[in-house]
């Protein structure tokens, strides 16, 4: 080693922060983007360490707060402790909480190794309190160490993040050349971005792993800000993702995999179908059983019979569909994605492939600005008549979406200044024709309608 070369690699600390919210359920919440960044850093010569504040298996936290109820597929509860209600939320009569490992354990982990740089991810805009806590802890324990924040909140509300959380650098969208230049300006190595780069392990994939075949989305729905985070669709490399899946399955025994794609079915002939064919061959050859889940709703218009059969054969345990509304006017106004006939055909394709109706979960979007409760009720009854599992998704105001300006103009809360008001727990777009009471009634109706339709289906099948 020459005198100019450092004696050890620079150290990057990757932190998945705690979450402050009224409720939180772990539906495959994993630090995918953070671990993918870690892979790019290691390729550039860094060493990395992960702190996952949402780690429900942390032994010190379990010793004080108990073991959590979890499902075999890797989803479930996260440790929760009550937290003071932020002043902005005064008048909301619900318990506010911090989700994650104990604060003292979190701080101890941060102080365990002197980092050369800290990288913090961010999720929902209204979860920023956890990001602020993390930045403040790093500043106190390791003053002078550069701190970068990326993820959804940082990408959509960069100015707010910089002002309130005070990192040194904001990563908006995917990490790339700009972050590399910033690191080099601090006398540190950059990073090696790559489209086929897969996330590190770091012990995150024991019960379930997340995968992403494609980047971005080709559509431009006005209730979504996907384009703000990634403004183009890039087809993935199915062979690379399959190789990573096999490595995780063999090293960890992981059998549950959740797709993080925004447009999983788009160009499926080039990406998803070859991937599923490899998965099917792998299971046939090894005798291993894999389970696949789709926490993000899939676009109905891109489904075909071959893909439906491959999904069933590969081990999809559920199919979540972004139906949103039975109103064709809704789709003409907001997303121009599909029609009733396309919905009927997709259900036919899935049932023909062997999916039962309880495995087909239909997302219904409720609470958009100006939307009437009667429209959502019509959609619930329409889908329930077909014996499908329903999930009413409460609309959250999303900065950078096509509906954002309309939301700002009509919302009773100052959503442009305070991200806490983006939380759908408030039902921020409530109005005379769609009240909070309507929302609760509709959510109850969706559960009752499925129960009734399931009994009817069972009777007709017997």
Which domains does the chain carry? 11-185 (3.40.50.280), 209-461 (3.20.20.70)
pLDDT of residue 461: 37
pLDDT tens for the chain, 462 residues long, are 344 444 589 999 999 999 999 999 999 999 999 999 999 999 999 999 999 999 999 999 999 999 999 999 999 999 999 999 999 888 888 899 999 999 999 999 999 989 999 999 999 999 999 999 999 999 999 999 999 999 999 999 999 999 999 999 999 877 777 899 999 999 999 987 765 689 999 989 999 999 999 999 999 999 999 888 888 899 999 999 999 999 999 999 999 999 999 999 999 999 999 999 999 999 999 999 999 999 999 998 899 999 999 999 999 999 999 999 999 999 999 998 877 778 889 999 999 999 998 899 999 999 999 999 999 999 999 998 888 899 999 999 999 999 999 999 999 999 999 999 999 888 889 999 999 999 999 999 998 875 544 444 433 333
Q: pLDDT value at position 149?
A: 97
Q: Which of 305, 295, 33 is nearest to 150 (CA)?
A: 33
Is residue 190 within 8 A of residue 232, CB to CB? The reply is no
């Amino acid at each position: 080693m020459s005198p100019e070369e450092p004696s050890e690699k620079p150290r990057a600390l990757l932190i998945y922060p705690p979450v402050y919210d009224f409720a939180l359920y772990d539906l495959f919440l994993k630090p995918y983007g953070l671990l993918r960044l870690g892979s790019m850093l290691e390729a550039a010569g860094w060493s990395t360490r992960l702190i996952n504040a949402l780690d429900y298996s942390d032994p010190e936290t379990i010793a004080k707060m108990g073991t959590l109820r979890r499902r075999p597929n890797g989803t479930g509860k996260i440790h929760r402790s009550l937290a003071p209600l932020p002043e902005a939320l005064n008048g909301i009569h619900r318990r506010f909480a911090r989700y994650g490992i104990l604060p003292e354990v979190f701080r101890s982990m941060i102080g365990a190794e002197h980092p050369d740089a800290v990288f913090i991810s961010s999720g929902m805009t209204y979860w920023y309190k956890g990001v602020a806590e993390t930045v403040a802890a790093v500043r106190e324990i390791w003053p002078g160490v550069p701190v970068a924040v990326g993820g959804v909140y940082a990408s959509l509300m960069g100015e707010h993040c910089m002002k309130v959380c005070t990192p040194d650098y904001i990563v908006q969208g995917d990490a790339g050349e700009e972050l590399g230049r910033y690191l080099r300006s601090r006398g540190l190595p950059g990073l090696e971005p790559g489209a086929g780069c897969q996330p590190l392990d770091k012990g995150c994939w024991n019960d379930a792993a997340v995968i992403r075949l494609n980047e971005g989305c080709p559509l431009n729905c006005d209730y979504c800000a996907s384009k703000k985070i990634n403004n183009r669709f890039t087809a993935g490399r199915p062979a690379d993702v399959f190789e990573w899946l096999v490595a995780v399955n063999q090293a960890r025994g992981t059998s549950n995999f959740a797709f993080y794609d925004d447009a999983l079915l788009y160009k499926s002939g080039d990406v998803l179908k070859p991937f599923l064919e490899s998965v099917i061959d792998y299971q046939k050859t090894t005798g291993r059983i894999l389970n696949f889940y789709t926490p993000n709703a899939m676009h109905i218009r891109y489904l075909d019979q071959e893909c439906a059969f491959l999904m069933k054969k590969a081990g999809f345990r559920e199919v979540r569909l972004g139906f949103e509304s039975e109103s064709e006017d809704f789709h003409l106004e907001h997303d121009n994605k599909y029609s009733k006939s396309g919905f009927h055909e997709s259900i036919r394709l899935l049932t023909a492939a062997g999916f039962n109706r309880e495995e087909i979960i239909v997302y219904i979007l409720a609470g958009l600005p100006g939307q009437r409760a009667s429209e959502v009720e019509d959609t619930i009854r329409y889908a329930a008549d077909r014996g499908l599992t329903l999930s009413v998704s409460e609309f959250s105001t999303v900065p950078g979406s096509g509906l954002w300006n309309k939301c700002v103009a009509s919302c009773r809360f100052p959503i442009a200044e305070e991200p806490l008001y983006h939380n759908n727990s408030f039902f921020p777009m409530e109005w005379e024709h769609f009240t909070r009471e309507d929302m609760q009634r509709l959510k109850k109706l969706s559960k009752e309608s499925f129960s009734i339709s399931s009994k009817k289906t069972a009777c007709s099948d017997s």
